Chains A and B, each alone.
Chain A
Amino acid sequence: MSALTDLTIAEARDLLAKGETSSKELTEAHIGAMEAARSLNAFITETPEKALQMAEASDKRRKAGEAGVLEGLPIGMKDLFCTEGVLTTAASHILDGFHPPYESTVSENMWNAGAVLLGKTNLDEFAMGSSNMTSHYGGVESPWRRSGDNRPLVPGGSSGGSAAAVAARCALGATGTDTGGSIRQPAAFCGIVGLKPTYGRCSRWGIVAFASSLDQAGPMTRTVRDSAIMLRAMAGYDPKDSTSVNVPVPDYEKALTGNIKGMKVGIPKEYRVEGMSEEIDQLWLKGIKWLEEAGAEVVEISLPHTRYALPTYYIIAPAEASSNLARYDGVRYGLREEGKTLDAMYEATRGRGFGAEVQRRILIGTYVLSAGYYDAYYNKARKVRSLIAGDFAKAYEKVDVILTPTAPSAAFSMGEKMDDPIAMYLLDVFTVPASLAGLPGISIPAGLSTDGLPLGLQLLGKAFDEETLIRAAGVLEEAAGFKATPAFLAV
């Protein structure tokens, strides 16, 4: 393994600043790693030429003394972010050949901060999934293996390509998007850090929409510090997004003081769910202990409507998705399957263009919004969502952050759970409630399962208080001392 690809963002940044390496060198090393890791299928589109151009431009800027927050750092971009002139697919057949004539706000922010695009990372189709198996471009393989077992595992989803790429050292960091856990769950499965900011913190403009009231972009990196650095570049008010919140973006790295003395950490009793493995429970207890030892005060809290979060999510997200995906109709971009009439063209295009899981969600969403069912499903779900948000609001009167496991299990084999949608949905049981409430959350690699797979702990924070969240996450990361590396590392 090249030493350059094993650097963290913070380390690479410091080497670049000292002139001990160049963006070009760093980028070339990562292009090599990306190519070496092709068997993982973590990227849908590699952009090595663009990467080198960007790296050279970055080195020039640095010479001119104009280094941004991510200056010269090669990263992966989830293929849900529209990138100008670069194929953008959302891992769907229906976006065949789509080259956006525009750049998403978040990616634009990152280029402005000096980042270098390595390529577009694979994901579940339209970010709908928890395994990355629903991609039209094929599933992503996790770089991890169970000890003594070479069967390929899923990286989690939907940001599975980003998680795998970062874990396998193909990219210093990568962007993800999180609708119900799509940053945090794959981060946990791949042993990296994934941060979903507060809804409204990062602009949604130019990100292919899945569920508008839930979607939020965030960083996926190997350390908490790296996530802090990357988030600062991604975040910011955007007048083009009516749900973007106009609050200043702090220097999150400064929040990493290591001091959580007196911080109140809530432990929600309702998260001790049925079917959760013993080792996850043990890890959670360890996490509590680590925070306590660092001086935090642990408080048991109640989030009574937790068990209703998943069904609520599986009404709201498909409902919004069924409408958001109506624009893929074969008229203005992407796939068109011919039909004699307009409707025949629509049905053929959408029948061929969307995969099974996306179709399933479009149908569920169409059903719950249709006449006669709106109140029983959609409006009911909006009310329960208020109750869930209310639970958190109450809890945050007493605590600063909340500690939970990220996922109820470690990664599973490719092909497993594929025939049981609900079993798949249950993977998001710990991540979905905070998504519904719009709250920030972070997953930190905190230990290994008995068969050697990474397990994550999740910290949840108050709205727009990512700083406290990052401070606590830094302490937890330090205490956990997670040093394991995946079986596959890009060479």
Chain B
Amino acid sequence: MSVDKETVAKIARLARVRVDESHEEALAKELSNILGWIEQLSELDTDGVEPMTSVVSMQLPLRDDKVTDGGYPDKVTANAPEAAHGFYAVPKVVE
């Protein structure tokens, strides 16, 4: 699969990673190379093979419905680049 500049811009946008336009061409080439290499997989017949969900063979553990956590708003916001009145603060969102 060959990836073009536009696709790079699109997935960078989806991933919220700013990529300089000047860098898109080179990145497109790199990604195309990697994807081309990955595509070896297509030669393998996987019809009827169950996709692996987890390597551990056990039941999903469940916990009891008890309040055992929380109650430390200071810890929650201690590392925030910006906080105010106990909230995280971000650039204004217009819906």
Contacts and interface: CB of A to CB of B under 8 A. Distances in A.
Contacts of B35: 364, 367
B41 A384 contact: yes
A384 B46 contact: yes
11 contacts: A101-B78, A199-B56, A243-B54, A330-B81, A331-B88, A333-B81, A342-B91, A350-B18, A363-B27, A377-B41, A384-B46
A139 B81 CA distance: 27
Contacts of A354: 17
A239 B61 contact: yes
B18 A383 contact: no
A243 B46 CA distance: 26
Contacts of B11: 363, 366-367, 370
A347 B16 CA distance: 5
B91 A363 contact: no
Contacts of B22: none
B16 A438 contact: no
Contacts of B40: 307-308, 311
Contact of A305 (B30, B42, B44, B75): B44
A102 to B, nearest CB: 8
A-B interface, 8 closest residue pairs, ranked by CB to CB distance from nearest = A438-B55, A351-B18, A382-B51, A333-B79, A336-B81, A383-B46, A347-B18, A346-B16
Contact of B33 (A200, A315, A362, A422): A422
A360 B81 contact: no
Nearest to B12: A363
Contacts of A379: 51
Contacts, number: 163
Contacts of A382: 51-53
Contacts of B80: 331-333
A242 B3 contact: no
B91 A362 contact: no
Contacts of B3: 367
Interface string B24-66: 0001001101110111111010100111111110101101000
Contacts of A305: 44
Nearest to A390: B49
Given A333-B79, A335-B81, A385-B52, A366 B14 contact: yes
A275 B94 CA distance: 56
Interface string A312-332: 101100000010001001111
A362 B17 contact: yes
Contact of B31 (A246, A350, A351, A360): A360
Given A308-B40, A345-B90, A350-B18, 10 more contacts: A332-B79, A348-B18, A360-B34, A363-B27, A376-B42, A377-B41, A386-B50, A389-B55, A421-B34, A422-B33
B82 A98 contact: no
Contacts of B18: 347-348, 350-352
Nearest to B50: A386
Interface in B73-95: 75-82, 88, 90-94
A343 interface: yes
Interface string A70-106: 0000000000000000000000000001110100000
A307 B92 CA distance: 50
B15 interface: yes
B91 A341 contact: yes
Nearest to B18: A351
Contacts of A438: 55-56
Interface string A456-472: 00000001000000000
Given A311-B37, A334-B81, A363 B90 contact: no
A335 B15 CA distance: 17
A386 B76 CA distance: 39
Interface string A255-289: 00000000000000000000000000000000000
A8 interface: no
B21 to A, nearest CB: 12
Contacts of B27: 360, 363
A380 B31 contact: no
B13 to A, nearest CB: 8
A15 interface: no
B14 A370 contact: yes
Given A333-B80, A347-B16, A370-B14, A377 B38 contact: yes
A373 B1 CA distance: 10
A481 interface: no
Contacts of B54: 213, 243
B17 A350 contact: yes
B67 to A, nearest CB: 16
